Amino acid sequence: MFKSFLRYKYKSILILISAVAAIASIFLITALGNGIISMYASMLKTDGDIIVMQKGVADTFFSDINRSLLAPIANIKGVATAQGVIVGAGAIESIPIAGIYGVTDNRMSNYHLTRGHYPKGIEVMIGESIATILNYPKQIHLMGKTFQVSGIYQSDIGFENGGVVIPIAQAQTLFHKSASFLLVSLDKITQNTDSVIRKIQHLNPDIEVKSTTEFIDNYNQFKIIRISSGVIASISFFMGFLAIVSLMSMMINDRRYEFGIKRAMGISKFKIIRDVILEVLVLTLIAFFIAYGVSLVLLNVLEHIDKFQGYLSGEIDARLFITLLIGSTFMAMLGAAIPAWIAARIDPIILINKGQ
């Protein structure tokens, strides 16, 4: 059944490469969109069951909250830790923009140090990506101020690995706020997050308290990213699937002559269509898994290109994998089955004469 692929190796390889390119482009575009959301969500979820922000400010970058709330929050029953974070961005040496994270001392240990020690005073620790780009500097200029580099940390989250972490008091002098948000983690025995949220809310009417999961689901920035990445992914899906449909249609139309001969010899139209669909299914599955592998490799390469500071981190989750697997095989089979079905309804001699 698959001898036609083997006999026309050059043509088959070209079709396979085109299908791989179409599927891989869908994987990459969607994965990179997902990755941005996933990275930021992972940052918030680290030691954060609950997030406390300034009331009425939807964006963590613009939120300003007094970190003096940390002590009363930490005293609430069921709370394990309460940490303060300032999120900002600025120029670091030759790098035009990078993430700057001001964190309280009790959050420092979330960063895995690979050398040196956690920063104190006017020290900073820098992510591996930044350290590599700046050739492991001893000091850095951050938004016009000089800091000693106390250590280097490694993080699986690209935004963190390509950023710097400073004590929150120093971040306050740079960004002129006490904290962007507070992250509260609960102890293992506390099951009722809502009760803790209510208690935190009682502390100050000017704050907004949400579970991190709820916040991530409703975060405006994520919505914007999700919508834009959804639109881009949809266009990419459409273009990719259109390419797959066109490729398979072309491949089948090229074989109308062969179908004509087969029908003239009495091979049933259903067997012809079935064989075609099986051939295309196998070809598409091979292309899909190659595209998946290629995408993983490319995403890994993109993540480790110094220029991108690790900010380009793609994520292929099970949902994307399955959607793309079903979508690409369905579209490929549709692309093959329609011309095959049309061909099967035409008189054999016309197929042979026109297909020559």
Partner 1 sequence: MIRLEHISHHYAKEPVLHDISLQIEANSFNIISGESGSGKSTLLSVISTLLTPSKGKLFFDKTQSTQIKNMDIFRNRHIGFVFQFHYLISHLTVYENIALVSRKSKKDAQEVLKKLGILDLENKYPDEISGGQRQRAAIARAIINQPKYIFADEPTGSLDSKNSQIVFDILRELDATVVVATHELGYAQKDDTMITLKDGRLC
Residues near partner 1, by CB under 8 A:
3-4, 6-8, 257-258, 261-269, 347-350, 352
Token representation of residue 197:
């949220």
Closest approach of partner 1 to the CB of residue 243, in Å:
25
Nearer to partner 1, 282 or 305 (CB): 282
Nearest to 298 by CA among 322, 321, 285, 314: 314
Do residues 148 and 137 lie in contact, with contact meaning Cβ atoms separated by under 8 Å? Answer: no
Closest approach of partner 1 to the CB of residue 1, in Å:
11
Distances (CA, A) of 161 to 50, 260, 295: 23, 61, 22
Nearer to partner 1, 264 or 305 (CB): 264
Beta bridge partners of 183: 51, 83
Closest approach of partner 1 to the CB of residue 216, in Å:
54
Closest approach of partner 1 to the CB of residue 346, in Å:
10
Nearer to partner 1, 242 or 264 (CB): 264
Nearer to partner 1, 176 or 345 (CB): 345
Nearer to partner 1, 278 or 352 (CB): 352
Q: In angstroms, rounded to a whole number, what is the distance separating the alpha carbons of residues 299 and 213?
A: 26
Nearer to partner 1, 5 or 147 (CB): 5
Q: In angstroms, rounded to a whole number, what is the distance separating the alpha carbons of residues 237 and 325?
A: 12
Beta bridge partners of 79: 186
Nearer to partner 1, 213 or 253 (CB): 253
Closest approach of partner 1 to the CB of residue 239, in Å:
31
Nearer to partner 1, 64 or 258 (CB): 258
Nearer to partner 1, 317 or 347 (CB): 347
Closest approach of partner 1 to the CB of residue 13, in Å:
15
> Read out DSSP for 270-324?
HHHHHHHHHHHHHHHHHHHHHHHHHHHHHHHHHHT-GGGTT-------HHHHHHH
Long-range residue pairs from 40-45, CB within 8 A, at least 24 positions apart, any chain: 40/159, 40/221, 40/222, 41/216, 41/222, 42/156, 42/157, 43/157, 43/159, 43/160, 44/183, 44/212, 44/215, 44/216, 45/212, 45/216
Closest approach of partner 1 to the CB of residue 277, in Å:
18
Token representation of residue 266:
């009495």
Q: In angstroms, rounded to a whole number, what is the distance separating the alpha carbons of residues 142 and 133?
A: 15
Closest approach of partner 1 to the CB of residue 218, in Å:
57
Closest approach of partner 1 to the CB of residue 335, in Å:
21
Q: Which residues of 93-131 are buried (b: 16+ CB within 10 A; e: fewer)?
A: eebeebbbbbbbeebbebbeeeeeebbeebbbbbbbbbb
